[in-house]
Structure 1
């Protein structure tokens, strides 16, 4: 991950970085409220995943934004699916989530605009220290899941259409396994990440977790990482990217679009990305900034599959 750190440092030192941030001029003013650009709106409603909320990252990110603009960020923590549904209903101004397929669907339907890559960490497969499924150290996530299913070791699923749940289902499917056919060993937890980690710990079960929430809770639970994600050299399918999307004011004209774009500009700016990079728990970095880069990924603005689906037009 030092490559990512060097990339961020280099971007911060370049004049191009400000342009990559998107609306960075709004976030770049470090003066007090009176000298900051004027924006309309007093309260920004942010729907986001439980991982960004439970880890405490948003407390660090939101405070400078609130102070600068004299506004309040009302954070609603939900699974990714629920967060996007809240936004579809017009009850959110901006969404921070981590399931690109669901984000693309949200954008394709016209509910979201101006999506930005924000940050990433990874998923880890955790379970009881005695490892009843015998998967510890496995470098192939599909093999590890197959071994869990063959041993019928208890596994607690988020079961809530969250980004983590979406990734878990993708991994079972890639392994050629159908969760509908699983027995009682496969448990539908139906809760947030912290709740699921506690449940897995109490039941000596496996579960899929984002690294950030696991690190933040590891001193409170009796679970070990048995399959690492790519942050620690594990399989690439366990990568966990986060994006941020403004709700389309053309669909819901009451949303605080100016405020949403100011927030996106701030959180993807040099200042916001530094806060993400420097945020730690138990001495470990939880998230890795992705909005600033020496080689910007302009494909981030395009829904997956757009080129192929429109190539004949």
Structure 2
């Protein structure tokens, strides 16, 4: 009797292991390389469980600067890229690493600084003038310096302002994501360009506040691309496309629009219908 019971238990365990192994093999997932702003703002934590519930697809996010996110795609180490630097995204497509770029949502950049505002830029709506005043005052400015979409935008604004920047006593590069860079600015009481979503979710503000906003040049567009399965046959084309189709669908766009912090909407869907 004991021998039979042991055999029965062994058979049951083997059956459970087989079922578990089969379920694991059938689990669907994709790797999404994206920006720190979509991760640190809490957006992915809000929308991805909803997508998984609808599709059964687990999305594994690698959150880095846009430049690094695109490089991950160039190596074939991601199935989908979701970033915010349109010129760099269009180059990615032109190089054949994706066949199409689809716009998903937008928000804006804001220029943050100390309430004491030594460069006297508070209340302005012209980012070019603000950057010129910061440079003239040589007021502390923190740059991400990480080839992210935010960093690329910042460099465009310096160029528009006819200011050449390099690491110096007043211009500091962190080489880090938006959250850590904001922490540095808070500690230094310095100016910093940030995406509004990360700023709204940022807790360690210290004496920092929004000083410049509303310039059309501060518009911040996000796009999504399926990494080319022609270049990289291992790319999960069906699952990756399902994610793109969902996030640009009415349901996905409504979910993005519903994400708020303190009653304020962080991202505004604008996928073309």
Distance in 1 (alpha carbons) for counterparts of 2:209 and 2:261: 17
Distance in 2 (alpha carbons) for counterparts of 1:59 and 1:292: 24
Matched positions, count:
248
Distance in 2 (alpha carbons) for counterparts of 1:173 and 1:51: 23
Report what 2:164 is aligned to.
178
Select the residue among 243, 250, 258 that pairs with 1:263. 243
Distance in 2 (alpha carbons) for counterparts of 1:210 and 1:64: 24
When the two chains are superposed, the root-mean-square deviation of aligned CA atoms in Å is 1.4
TM-score normalised per structure 1: 0.77
Ranges in structure 1 where 5+ consecutive residues have no aligned partner = 1-39, 229-233, 294-313
Report what 2:183 is aligned to.
198
Report what 1:277 is aligned to.
257
TM-score normalised per structure 2: 0.88
Q: 1:67 deviation in Å? A: 1.9
Query: For residues 236-290 of structure 1, what are the alpha-carbon distances to aligned partners after superposition, in whole Å with 9 as ceiling and x for unaligned?
Result: 1100000001100011110101111100000000111001111001221100011
Report what 1:291 is aligned to.
271
Report what 2:144 is aligned to.
158
Distance in 2 (alpha carbons) for counterparts of 1:137 and 1:218: 22
Q: Which moved more, 1:210-219 or 1:115-124?
A: 210-219
Greater C-alpha radius of gyration: 2
The alignment status of 1:235 with 2:215, answered yes or no, reads: yes
Asked if the contact 2:93–2:100 (Cα under 8 Å) also holds between the matched residues in 1, the reply is no
Give the secondary-structure state (helix, strand or coil) at the position aligned to 2:255.
helix
Q: Which moved more, 1:284-293 or 1:272-281?
A: 284-293
Query: For residues 145-182 of structure 1, what are the alpha-carbon distances to aligned partners after superposition, in whole Å with 9 as ceiling and x for unaligned?
Result: 000001000000010000000000000001111113x6
Ranges in structure 2 where 5+ consecutive residues have no aligned partner = 1-25
Q: 1:222 deviation in Å? A: 2.9
Aligned 1:1-313 pairs, distance under 5 A: 42-180=28-166, 183-218=168-203, 220-228=205-213, 234-292=214-272
Distance in 2 (alpha carbons) for counterparts of 1:221 and 1:46: 33
Query: For residues 106-162 of structure 1, what are the alpha-carbon distances to aligned partners after superposition, in whole Å with 9 as ceiling and x for unaligned?
Result: 111100123111000000000111111110012211110000001000000010000
Q: 1:64 deviation in Å? A: 2.0
Distance in 1 (alpha carbons) for counterparts of 2:143 and 2:234: 36
Asked if the contact 1:80–1:97 (Cα under 8 Å) also holds between the matched residues in 2, the reply is yes
Distance in 1 (alpha carbons) for counterparts of 2:188 and 2:175: 15
